[in-house]
Structure 1
Amino acid sequence: MRVKRDFWPKMRKVAAKIPFADQALAAWYATQDPETPFRAKALLLGALAYFVMPVDAIPDVFTVVGFSDDAAVLAAVLATLGAHIKDRHRLSAKTMLARMRDEASPESPNEAPPPQK
């Protein structure tokens, strides 16, 4: 399934650039929860599929504007299914987002430190 294959690589690439990263991550965690009803999972996965698809209404290469349609689709689905996004999903999303942003920061231990002057 394209969402399972492409979600994490795309999220790692754009998490620091998009304001709705926490919502996308919370939706992802809800789809992985056995307590989330099948119908809710299907709609959430549809919204996440739109996010990971390389071709959509506004191409994502236009960073700010390009993700506005993705954000709108996700917001519409979350407005309908928000009750299925539990506090545990939001907490997992917040924790993962902080971790991904730390890994992407210039001070990250995974990257070489900036040269000293």
Structure 2
Amino acid sequence: MIFGGTGADDLRDLIFAGCGDDSVDAVVGNDLVYGHEGNDTIAGCLGADDLRGRGGNDVLTGSAFYDLMFGVAVTDKFLHIGIAGHGSGWVQDTLRPMASCCSSAMPRPAATSSRSI
């Protein structure tokens, strides 16, 4: 878990994760989590937040700027607290779970569903 700073010097929180629960509680800046298996979360504030999860229940709470989430269809949640004129959000979920990140064979998803929020 990363607790982001509150000043202008603390602009980016970044996690390259394996199989496990990973989270960023951020304030300002562009936060990024590359998660695999597990429940990965970003609680973002000001900034462009990016959550790239795989298997697991992933949650991205974005705020005023552009937020992006790539997940695998388990129970992913995307909450975008948009402010008028300040960006948008994008979600892409695969429709079939992929193999575990710990296995050597990673099949391609059967289909994807994308939508702009």
The structure with the larger Rg is 1
Greater share of helix: 1
Q: TM-score range by the shorter chain?
A: under 0.3
Q: TM-score by structure 2 length?
A: 0.23
Where is the strand percentage greater, Structure 1 or Structure 2?
A: 2
Higher RCO (C-alpha 8 Å, min separation 6):
1
